[in-house]
Structure 1
Amino acid sequence: MIGKIIGALVGRQLDRRDGDSGVKGAVIGATVPALLRRLGPLGLILGGAYVAKKAYDSRKAPKV
């Protein structure tokens, strides 16, 4: 349950970046962890790869 709440909060913040209400991001953020869990090891690999790619991109982004 806590994972769904955290996912929804993160999704809401991501969706608010474009000026919308954040509801779509909250729904996506709450459902993605459940979907990845259902995929089993493949979901774990996909989720880890996504997080690693985001971390890599943020480190390589030019500092302002």
Structure 2
Amino acid sequence: MIRSAIGALVGREIDRRDGQGGLKGAAIGLVAARLLSRMGPLGLVLGGGYVAKKAYDRRQARRRGESV
């Protein structure tokens, strides 16, 4: 269940980065989640850390009034 959530969040970040959305982010998120879960607890920590950093950066940008 955690793997699916992290995969979805990673896919969403990739879709936001390229601005087009669609299948690309979902596919990369699925692959990233599969790879991270194969790495065991370290992979889940790395994936969760990536998502947390993106959320933190977005929050800081909102506080400064920047566009994300």
Cα distance in structure 2, aligned partners of 1:13 and 1:55: 10
* Structure having the higher Rg: 1
With normalisation by structure 2, the TM-score equals 0.60
State the identity as a percent: 57
**Number of equivalences:** 60
Instruction: Spell out structure 1 runs of 4+ moving beyond 3 A.
Output: none
5+ residue gaps, structure 2, are none
Task: State yes or no: 1:22 paired with 2:19.
Answer: no
Q: Give the Å deviation of 1:12.
A: 6.0
With normalisation by structure 1, the TM-score equals 0.63
- RMSD of Structure 2 on Structure 1 (CA): 3.1
Within a 5 Å distance, the mapping from 1:1-64 to structure 2 comes to 3=4, 7=8, 11=11, 14-15=14-15, 18-19=19-20, 22-61=22-61, 62-63=64-65
Cα distance in structure 2, aligned partners of 1:48 and 1:37: 11
Higher relative contact order (CA 8 A, sep 6+): 2
